[in-house]
């Protein structure tokens, strides 16, 4: 009974913690007793900091939990924990170090310690050889900085931490530098630190001598579509597919253990596919670099003298080419460097062709790009290569010329245009796409028979010289608008409804189920008269009228739509009456989205793709929709009239057909065949 009535609060810290949070004043004496206990244990611990002390571990968490109740008594407590970690971080026991960090995190969450003090200390703890600690601190740093900047940007804290980050990226410890870079990348991805200073601090990591840091910085600017050369796991191509796993399970003994192993392998494969899902990065980081010209020149010098693996060099080439294409930089030595790799047998040659196209723009001197085109034509577009190689070369030439049209010469273009009738479909379509490009870019380089039917757009598009700018003082297509602005009544009646199969007007009471209803422009006598008047105008008068309309009033959205429609029709309508030319099928290939060119534009070979089982089955079922049930085409007039012997045999019992089955030699076993052969030989011997 005496033990039950004894006060157990000094030894039961969780209970005392709960009571203190409810009523701090009533339990001040018990708290001071625990505080003195902590001070004595701390003095003993400092004599041997590498030892784990359970009592000190519990007291640190207890004091951190109740620190907001006694701020005056625990004023020195945060500094004590900080000094312990700062002095003995590398030799502390793993559990004790984690406890001290948890205590500081609790104090920081209660607002009892400055964010700069804690975060700078945690960045320094990245040097510790403790993976769990680094992972914990990484998550806390990112979340804490995000919470600080949630309502408004804390410029003072961000500036101090970014300056500290700049020094951490140059740290001798590779792990600490890599973790600091990961923090900055994650904060940029979460739109917390998305300013130019963060981006330019990350650019310094591109010149690191540590491969992991270099690759992480390159992947930040390139996005997640690049292969990771530092990954220790197997590449995506080497991973076993589901088909291979099922095929391996078919061979061998069927057991529950092997079946469970197959299920675990399939689950692991699904998880791997989820991890491989690309993460979209904000490509505006390339636009926030202060001096992209100087940055690309330094990166190219590093590339020339680099001893890194080929995958890392390819990533550096990709980044340089993107910088050149987006900012229209001048790095003339970069193109001869790429020419050395433009060979059909070169590893990842399609990517290198893609990066060559990315680095092309209108301000590059045409003679520089011309040498690149000649290299591609001599190495790829020759009869000694396969059709796919020739198609890839033609596609690469098309993408380069789309960005730098002046680099193509008349002789080379006419030679490449002759592949429009090649026997290989991939080569034929690539050559016709190149012809289609220069019909609008500079049709004078093409042979007369390849220029196609002249259109109004081709007549308006003039080939500009090197460095020339095709700026206009009017809105192209504005001459098609009426001289006076349309009234609101005219806008309301500007659209009518008509069936998709004709232009006849229909009454409102008519059922609209006969055809699909679309919006068509209102056609009136005034519009027809205006169109006839526009045809009589010469180009100078049209330009003068477009200038007056563009400068005379503010155009509405409906008028902009009308201009867009008219400009689109100019690509189809003939510019002058003449002999009708034969229509040539043209494939432009997949267009690139934004500033980044896609690899499909280079690998766009028109081959019939292989179908998997599901697509083949879907094709088969689609072909059976309008067919009757399977069977002979010569069906009977009366299916129940009679049956064949073969059909009757299927309905008989097995015992009735057993004797006939035994006589069938194709169903005999190997032993029965041996016996039959022996009996046959004995009969022959007796006959002799």
pLDDT at 570: 63
Q: Is the pLDDT of residue 463 over 80?
A: no
State the Cα–Cα distance between residues 341 and 379, nearest whole angstrom.
11
CA 440 from chain centre, in angstroms, equals: 31
Residue 280: pLDDT over 50: no
Q: Mind giving me the DSSP string for 224-237?
A: SSS--TT--SPPTT
pLDDT score for 155: 85
Task: Report which of residues 75 and 530 the model is more confident about.
Answer: 75
CA distance 533 to 237: 64
Cα 35 from Cα 31, distance rounded (Å) = 6
CA triple 679-682-688, angle to 5 deg: 145
Check pLDDT > 90 for residue 264: no
pLDDT for residue 302? 94
**pLDDT at position 354 over 50:** yes
With beta carbons less than 8 A apart as the criterion, state whether 288 and 228 touch: no
- Comparison of pLDDT for 122 and 510, the residue scoring more: 122
Top pLDDT among 505 and 181 is at 181
Spatial CB neighbours of 84, under 8 Å, sequence gap ≥ 6:
46, 49, 92, 100
What pLDDT is stored for residue 665 in this prediction? 52
514: number of CA atoms within 13 Å, CB side? 9
| Average pLDDT, integer, range 411-419 | 92
Does residue 215 surpass a pLDDT of 90?
yes
Question: In 3D, which of 472, 414, 476 has the Cα closest to residue 442?
Answer: 414
Q: What is the predicted pLDDT for the residue at 418?
A: 92
Residue 455 has a pLDDT of: 66
Q: Assign 662 a pLDDT band (cuts: 50, 70, 90).
A: low
Q: What percent of the chain has pLDDT over 70?
A: 74
Cβ neighbors of 69 (< 8 A, separation 6 or more) are: 20, 21, 24, 31
- Is the model's pLDDT at 112 over the cut of 50? yes
Q: Is the pLDDT of residue 547 over 50?
A: yes
Q: Which of 292-301, 520-529, 538-547 has the weakest average pLDDT?
A: 520-529
**pLDDT: which is higher, 95 or 237:** 95
Q: pLDDT at position 632, please?
A: 58
Compare 458 and 206 and report the one with higher pLDDT: 206
> What pLDDT does residue 520 have?
46
- pLDDT for 606: 54
Rounded Cα gap, residues 350 and 593, in angstroms: 18
- Of 606, 571, 584, the closest CA to residue 447 belongs to 584
Tell me the pLDDT band of 560, cut-offs 50, 70 and 90: confident
Q: 185 CB contacts (<8 Å, ≥6 apart)? A: 202, 216, 220
Among 51-60, 85-94, 508-517, whose mean pLDDT is lowest? 508-517
Quote the pLDDT of residue 505.
Answer: 39
Cβ-contact 499, 515 below 8 angstroms: yes
Cα angle 181, 183, 187 (rounded to 5 degrees) comes to 120
Which residues does residue 596 pair with via DSSP β-bridges, in sequence order? 593
Helices in 343-472 by DSSP H: which ranges?
A: 349-358, 366-379, 387-403, 410-417, 425-441, 456-460
Q: For 243-256, write each residue's pLDDT tens digit.
A: 777 777 677 777 87
- Indicate if the pLDDT at residue 51 is higher than 80: yes
CA of 440: how far to CAs of 446, 478, 602, in Å? 11, 21, 21
Handedness of CA 216, 219, 223, 229 (dihedral sign): negative
Between these two residues, 686 and 230, which has the higher pLDDT value? 686
| 137 close to 127: Cβ distance less than 8 angstroms | no
Average pLDDT over residues 148-164: 86
Q: Residues 6 or more apart from 126 whose CB is under 8 A from it? A: 134, 137, 168, 173, 175, 176, 179, 180
What pLDDT is attached to residue 639?
A: 65
Q: HSE (CB half, 13 Å, CA atoms) of 393?
A: 25
DSSP string, 159-197: HHHHHHHHHHTT-S-HHHHHHHHHHHHHHHHTTSS-SHH
Question: Greater confidence, 530 or 405?
Answer: 405
Q: What does residue 167 show for φ and ψ, rounded to 5 degrees?
A: -75, -30
With a cut of 90, say whether residue 355 has pLDDT above it: yes
Tell me the pLDDT of the chain averaged across its residues: 78
pLDDT band at 550 (very low <50, low <70, confident <90, very high): confident
* Token reading at 635: 């069906």
pTM, full prediction = 0.68
User: Which of 578 and 384 is assigned the larger pLDDT?
Assistant: 384
Classify burial at 589, counting beta carbons within 10 Å of its beta carbon; exposed 0-12, middle 13-18, buried 19 or more: buried
Q: How far is it, in rounded angstroms, from Cα 320 to Cα 329?
A: 10
Inter-CA distances, 355 with 221, 350, 370, Å? 15, 9, 16
Determine the pLDDT at residue 227: 44
């Amino acid at each position: 009974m005496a033990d039950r009535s004894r006060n157990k609060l000094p030894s039961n810290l969780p209970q005392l913690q709960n009571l203190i949070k409810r009523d701090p004043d009533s339990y001040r004496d018990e708290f001071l007793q625990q505080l003195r206990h902590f001070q004595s244990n701390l003095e003993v611990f400092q004599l041997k900091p590498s030892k784990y002390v359970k009592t000190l571990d519990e007291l640190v968490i207890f004091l951190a939990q109740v620190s907001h109740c006694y701020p005056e008594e625990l004023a020195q407590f945060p500094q004590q924990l900080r000094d312990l970690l700062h002095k003995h971080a590398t030799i502390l026991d793993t559990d004790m170090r984690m406890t001290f960090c948890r205590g500081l995190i609790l104090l920081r969450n209660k607002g009892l310690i400055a964010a700069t003090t804690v975060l700078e200390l945690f960045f320094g703890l990245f040097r510790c050889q403790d993976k769990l600690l680094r992972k914990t601190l990484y998550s806390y740093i990112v979340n804490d900085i995000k919470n600080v900047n949630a309502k408004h940007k804390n410029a003072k804290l961000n500036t101090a931490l970014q300056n500290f980050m700049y020094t951490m990226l140059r740290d001798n410890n590779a792990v600490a530098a890599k973790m600091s870079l990961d923090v900055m990348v994650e904060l940029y991805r979460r739109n917390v630190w998305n300013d130019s200073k963060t981006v330019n601090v990350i650019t310094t990591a591109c010149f690191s001598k540590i491969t992991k840091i270099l690759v992480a910085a390159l992947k930040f600017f390139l996005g997640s579509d690049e292969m990771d050369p530092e990954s220790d796991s197997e590449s995506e191509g080497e991973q076993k597919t589901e088909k291979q796993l099922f095929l391996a399970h078919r061979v061998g003994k069927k057991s529950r253990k092997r079946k469970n192993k197959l299920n675990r392998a399939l689950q692991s494969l699904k998880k791997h596919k989820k991890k491989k899902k690309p993460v979209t990065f904000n490509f505006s980081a390339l636009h926030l670099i202060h001096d992209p010209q100087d940055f690309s020149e330094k990166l190219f010098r590093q590339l020339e003298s680099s001893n890194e693996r080929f995958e890392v060099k390819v990533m550096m080439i990709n980044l340089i080419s993107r910088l050149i294409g987006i900012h229209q930089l001048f790095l003339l030595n970069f193109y001869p460097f790429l020419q050395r790799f433009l060979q059909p047998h070169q590893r990842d040659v399609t990517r290198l062709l893609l990066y060559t196209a990315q680095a092309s723009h209108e301000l590059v001197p045409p003679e520089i790009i011309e040498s690149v085109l000649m290299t591609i034509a001599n190495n790829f577009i020759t009869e000694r290569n396969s059709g796919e190689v020739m198609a890839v070369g033609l596609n690469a030439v098309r993408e380069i010329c789309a960005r730098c049209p002046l680099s193509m010469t008349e002789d080379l273009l006419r030679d490449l245009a002759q592949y429009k009738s090649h026997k290989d479909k991939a080569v034929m379509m690539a050559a016709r796409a190149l012809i289609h490009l220069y019909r609008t870019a500079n049709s004078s380089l093409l042979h007369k028979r390849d220029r196609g039917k002249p259109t109004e757009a081709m007549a308006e598009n003039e080939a500009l010289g090197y460095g020339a700018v095709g700026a206009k003082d009017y809105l192209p297509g504005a001459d098609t608008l009426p001289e006076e602005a349309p009234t609101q009544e005219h806008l309301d009646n500007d659209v009518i409804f008509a069936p998709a199969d004709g232009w006849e007007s229909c009454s409102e009471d008519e059922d609209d189920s006969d055809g699909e209803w679309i919006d068509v422009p209102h056609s009136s006598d005034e519009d027809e008269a205006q169109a006839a008047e526009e045809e009589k105008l010469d180009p100078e008068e049209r330009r003068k009228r477009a200038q007056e309309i563009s400068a005379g009033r503010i155009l509405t959205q409906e008028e902009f739509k009308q201009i867009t429609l008219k400009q689109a029709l100019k690509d189809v309508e003939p510019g002058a009456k003449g002999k009708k030319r034969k229509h040539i099928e043209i494939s432009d290939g997949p267009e690139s989205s934004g500033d980044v060119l896609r690899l499909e534009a280079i690998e766009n070979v028109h081959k019939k793709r292989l179908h998997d089982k599901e697509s083949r089955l879907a094709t088969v079922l689609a072909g059976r929709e309008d067919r009757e049930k399977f069977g002979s085409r010569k069906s009977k007039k009366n299916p129940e009239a009679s049956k064949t012997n073969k059909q009757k045999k299927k309905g008989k019992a097995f015992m009735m057909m057993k004797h006939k089955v035994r006589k069938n030699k194709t169903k005999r076993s190997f032993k029965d065949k041996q016996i039959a052969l022996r009996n046959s030989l004995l009969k022959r011997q007796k006959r002799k």
